[in-house]
Amino acid sequence: MRTRIKVCGLTREPDVDDAVEAGVDAIGFVFYEPSPRSVSIQQAQRLARRVPAWVCLVGLFVNAPRNIMLSVADEVGLSHLQLHGDESPDDCRGLGRPVIKALRIGSEVFTPGAAQGNAIAQRVAAYEDCHAVLFDADSVGFGGSGQSFDWGLLEGVFARAPRLESSWVLSGGLESGSVGQAIARLRPPCVDVSSGVEARENGKQLKGIKDARRIREFVASVRVADALRP
């Protein structure tokens, strides 16, 4: 099975066009105002009109009230909801769309050894009713860290929730130079990238501004890694 690709944090129409042309499976819009990649409902509506029906539209929310998420989802036409805050398992139920729950992984939360593996497995199992779980690096803020984490921490995390082993997302600092290694080691069903395909100017990352070349290179790296899988 090929690895699905989601590009998140899109804010401009040309970037949406580039991602679709590159062959991604899902487009992500951030509805979390403190994020530099946040979009308004009106922006998201304009962007969504450029996305073909066979590409998923994912809305990222952080501790948002249920009625707000449902209203935004209806107005924009979101197919999936991605929850990146402190949402409980109950908060993820009954939203009328597939829910992807982000779980933040960090050494300050989980120390090496069997205990940390069990702790992550317990968290995964708690969200077994979700359509998928997404693993991202821990950070001070919400909405995606742009940093990687120790992939070894994911070993055995689906022991208590085997259904999710075929429905999870790897995120956190991925870019074209590292995603192939991640696929070879972890075989994630889906990878999620944002900062790894953003434009740079004078060495500075332009948050929310994607780079068409970086998107193409990321997709190409995923496809090469898929071809090398046994």
- Active-site residue numbers? 8, 136
Q: 103 - beta bridge partners?
A: 135
Task: Provide the Cα torsion 172, 176, 179, 181; round to 10°.
Answer: -130
Residue with tokens 């208590």: 160
Task: Take residue 165 and report the two structure tokens written for it.
Answer: 């082993």
Calpha distance 129→178 (Å, rounded) = 30
- For β-strands 204-210 and 198-201, DSSP reports them as antiparallel
Calpha distance 81→97 (Å, rounded) = 7
Residues in the chain, how many?
Answer: 230
167: helix, coil or strand? Answer: coil
